[in-house]
Structure 1
Amino acid sequence: MPLHRIWYSPGAISEQDKESLAAHITKLYTSFGIPSFFVYVLYLPVEEKNFFVGGKKNRKFVRIIVQHIARQFESNKRADQFLEKYESILAPFIKERGLDWEVSVEQTDRNLWRENGMEAPLFNTIAWKEWVRLDKAVPYDEKDNVIVD
């Protein structure tokens, strides 16, 4: 489950842009075989009086923390490739609007995650493919949690 927390000054990202950016972020993950219901994007407006960068109030800064649980990067090269794609998605909404930003990705232990109280199936298993097909978490038999490809 990727969770994207985006802190921004009110007005820096429009309601229309929020929907569009969330759709682009979701499409990135579904292109990697992640079901769309795993992708969460939270917009967290922070009033200028509460947003400081370098000890000074700031209304042009966006802070993004991405938390990955379902899958981990296999290598630094894969992480770099992801960040390049992610930055290209952000560009029209942040960079091209003259905002400053920072992105970090956290990778947490998959064993400490549950979806609707269930352990998520392993990637590329029969059970995983069913979660992708249905786009929701459904109970599965452990025999379907075996990698098939």
Structure 2
Amino acid sequence: MPLWTIHHTPGLFSDAEKHELASRVADHYEAVGLPRFYAVTVFQEARREDFYVGGEPAEAGIRVVIDHIARHSTGPDSRRRTAQWISSMLRPHLEKRPGVHWEFHADESSEELWMINGLVPPPGGSAEEKAWAKDNAASPY
């Protein structure tokens, strides 16, 4: 499960832009073999008075926090590739906003601490996970 939490100051994303970015995120994870419903994107708007960069209120700011649970990087090169595709996914949405401060980071959490609808997700790449992907839903296995 990747969880993308996008903290941002007001007015930076329209509803259509949020949908487009969330769809691109889900598209990517589906393309690498994860069930599409694993990808969760949450937009959290923060007032400028509540969004600080360097101790000062940000006029326009975006901070993306990504939690990876279903899959983990295998080493430094893998982590660099992950950072590069995250950046390439965000750039078209963020660089068109002049003066915006944006950054991201990704954490890799233990899959032993993860459940969906009370079910332990099947092992990565297993027939059961492929069935979840085909059905786009969790089910007992």
TMscore range, shorter length: over 0.9
Q: What residue number does 2:113 align with?
A: 112
Determine the C-alpha separation between the residues in 1 that align with 2:95 and 2:81.
19
Query: Is the Cα contact below 8 Å between 2:48 and 2:60 reproduced in 1?
Result: no
**Residue identity matched to 2:119:** M
**Residue identity matched to 2:29:** Y
- Aligned partner of residue 65 in structure 1, secondary structure: strand
In structure 2, list runs of 5 or more residues that go unmatched.
none
**Percentage of matched positions with identical amino acids:** 28
- Aligned structure 1 segments of 4 or more residues deviating by more than 4 angstroms: none
1:11 aligns with 2:8: no
Return the offset for 1:109. 0.6
Determine the C-alpha separation between the residues in 2 that align with 1:59 and 1:11.
11
Determine the C-alpha separation between the residues in 2 that align with 1:33 and 1:56.
41
Return the offset for 1:108. 0.6
- Once the two structures are superposed, residues 105-136 of structure 1 have per-residue CA deviations (whole angstroms, 9 ceiling, x without a partner) of 01111011111111111111111111111011
Determine the C-alpha separation between the residues in 2 that align with 1:70 and 1:35.
10
Q: Indicate the structure (1 or 2) with the bigger Cα radius of gyration.
A: 1
Q: What residue number does 1:121 align with?
A: 122
Q: Aligned runs of 1:67-78 on 2, under 5 Å?
A: 67-78=67-78
Determine the C-alpha separation between the residues in 2 that align with 1:97 and 1:31.
28
Q: What residue number does 2:86 align with?
A: 86
TM-score (norm 1): 0.90
TM-score (norm 2): 0.95
Q: Which has the higher contact order (CA 8 A, sep 6+)?
A: 2
RMSD: 1.0
In structure 1, list runs of 5 or more residues that go unmatched.
141-149
